[in-house]
Amino acid sequence: MSLLKGTRVTWLGHATVLVQTAKGTHILIDPFIAHNPKYPRSFVLPEKIHYILLTHGHGDHISDAVPVAAKHGSTVVAIYELAAYVAGKGVADTIGMNVGGTVQLEEVAVTMVDAKHSAAAQDEHGTHYVGVAAGFVLEIADGPVLYHAGDTSVFGDMKLIAELYRPEVAMLPIGGHYTMGPKEAALAATFLSPRVILPLHFGTFPPLKGTPEELAGLVDSRIQVARLAPGESL
């Protein structure tokens, strides 16, 4: 896809996305692997994953952050409390940030943006406060601007994300039940005006009923709705 200018964006099922820039920076967002029924089992992650971004503390977004960080030498980037939580679980390198802030990761400027969702983490000791749910904008130097919305409803301040960052690729949850569904994602598309939508967080479990076809029927035909199988790239 020419608008990606050499950046590879690979969907790994649910909300898990691997971004590999033309310069060779590898970023994995929301690693959900071992218990993700849609994870492509034959897919081989790159040996080095420089950064793991976590949108919020729910298990279907962070459950493989600790083992992947250990195996692939990754720095985990998340909201402050969630970064501290995974550090407590043994992740050696973390960057805690907060909503509205930007961190420069090699040639990628990563900004944490709003999402509307809950965010606690659960383990054998109970439920832990790990900050609020967020999304990420990735501005890749000499590359595209990507937006991963995390888990969220549609919200009016997506217009601010569009005004500030002009994402060309919007990765949006569409499954419904725990996030917005296609109807709401179609409104999000009017706020964001991306060139491409990569639908996330659908079909993984029975309640996540929204489909890319439904979304495609609701958005302006100038916006391409990607229909990838897990393991495929834009």
Verify binding: residue 64, Mn ion, rule CB under 5 A.
no
Verify binding: residue 58, Ni ion, rule CB under 5 A.
yes
Closest distance to Ni ion from the beta carbon of 59 (Å): 9
Nearer to Ni ion, 26 or 117 (CB): 117
Number of residues engaging Mn ion in binding (CB under 5 A): 2
Please name the residue that has the structure tokens 């679980």.
89
Closest distance to Mn ion from the beta carbon of 178 (Å): 6
* Distances from the Cα of 34 to the Cα of 26, 30, 149, 151, 225, angstroms: 20, 13, 22, 20, 27
Q: How far apart are the first and last CA of the chain?
A: 6
14 binds, among Ni ion, Mn ion, none (CB under 5 to 8 A by kind): none
Site for Ni ion in 137-166 (CB under 5 A): 151
* Distances from the Cα of 118 to the Cα of 21, 32, 130, 149, 152, angstroms: 31, 18, 10, 14, 9
Nearer to Ni ion, 30 or 139 (CB): 30
Is the distance from CB of 31 to CB of 64 less than 8 angstroms? yes
Backbone angles phi, psi at 143, to 5 degrees: -145, -165
How big is the chain by its Cα radius of gyration, in Å? Answer: 16
Output the residue with the shortest Cβ distance to Ni ion: 58
| Burial of residue 31 (number of CB atoms within 10 Å: 0-12, 13-18, 19+) | buried
Closest distance to Mn ion from the beta carbon of 163 (Å): 27
Verify binding: residue 114, Mn ion, rule CB under 5 A.
no
Q: What is the pattern of x (binds Mn ion, CB under 5 A) and - over residues 129-158? A: ----------------------x-------
Nearer to Mn ion, 60 or 114 (CB): 60
Verify binding: residue 60, Mn ion, rule CB under 5 A.
yes
- Interface residues with Mn ion (CB under 5 A)? 60, 151
